[in-house]
């Protein structure tokens, strides 16, 4: 069964610290995405990738880096975490345009 696994599922980080969120998919999908969701809002795209070893900026990339070392793995990196980055982060993968999109269960990040 198709799956997207995020780790950790929740994390508390200190301001100024480094945070790495990991995403692993077993769907053989080319496209992977990182979104953030703030309370009461939809999902906003941070970074995405359509091939290994390459990443693209989404709509809100400032303060975030991404890494796609393999087709299966896609990481989101916060080099200097800030209070404003407290949110829920979702990873997703997809194949061709009309195939299904699979989302992970989300990572709740709290920066204190």
Cα-based distances in Å from 65 to 39, 95, 101: 22, 23, 22
Question: CA dist 15 to 10, 57, 69, Å?
Answer: 16, 23, 27
Q: What is the CA radius of gyration of the chain?
A: 13
**Looking only at residues 62 through 101 of this chain, which bind another protein when binding is defined by CB under 8 A?**
90, 92, 94, 96-98, 100-101
Q: Report the C-alpha gap between 70 and 50 in whole angstroms.
A: 11
Nearer to another protein, 15 or 51 (CB): 51
Q: List all residues 6 or more positions away from 52 whose beta carbon is below 8 Å from its beta carbon.
A: 68, 69, 70, 71
Build a one-symbol-per-residue string for 36-55: x at contacts with another protein by CB under 8 A, - elsewhere: ----xxxxxx--x-x-----
- The CB-of-108 to another protein minimum distance in angstroms stands at 9
Nearer Cβ to another protein (15/110): 110
Q: Does 9 bind another protein (CB under 8 A)?
A: no
Where along the sequence are the contacts to another protein (CB under 8 A)? 31, 33, 35, 40-45, 48, 50, 56, 58-59, 90, 92, 94, 96-98, 100-101, 103-106
């Amino acid at each position: 069964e198709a799956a997207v696994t995020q780790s950790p599922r929740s994390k508390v980080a200190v301001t100024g610290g480094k945070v790495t969120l990991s995403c692993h998919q077993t769907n053989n999908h080319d496209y992977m995405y990182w979104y953030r969701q703030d309370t009461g809002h939809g999902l906003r795209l941070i970074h995405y990738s359509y091939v290994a070893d390459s990443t693209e900026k989404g709509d809100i990339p400032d303060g975030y880096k991404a890494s796609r070392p393999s087709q299966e793995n896609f990481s989101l990196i916060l080099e200097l975490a800030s209070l404003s980055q407290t949110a829920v982060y979702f990873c997703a993968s997809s194949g061709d345009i009309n195939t299904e999109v699979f989302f992970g269960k989300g990572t709740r990040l709290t920066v204190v």
